[in-house]
Amino acid sequence: MTEPVIADKKPAALELEPGTYYWCACGRSKNQPFCDGSHKGTGFEPVAFEIAEKKQVWLCQCKHTATPPYCDGTHKKL
At position 37, the amino acid (one-letter code) is G
* pLDDT, position 49: 98
* pLDDT, position 1: 59
Whole-model pTM: value is: 0.94
Q: What is the mean pLDDT of each run of 10 residues along the chain (78 residues)?
A: 92 98 98 98 97 98 98 96
At position 6, the amino acid (one-letter code) is I
* pLDDT, position 2: 85
Q: For the chain, how long is the longest CA-to-CA vector?
A: 35
At position 28, the amino acid (one-letter code) is R
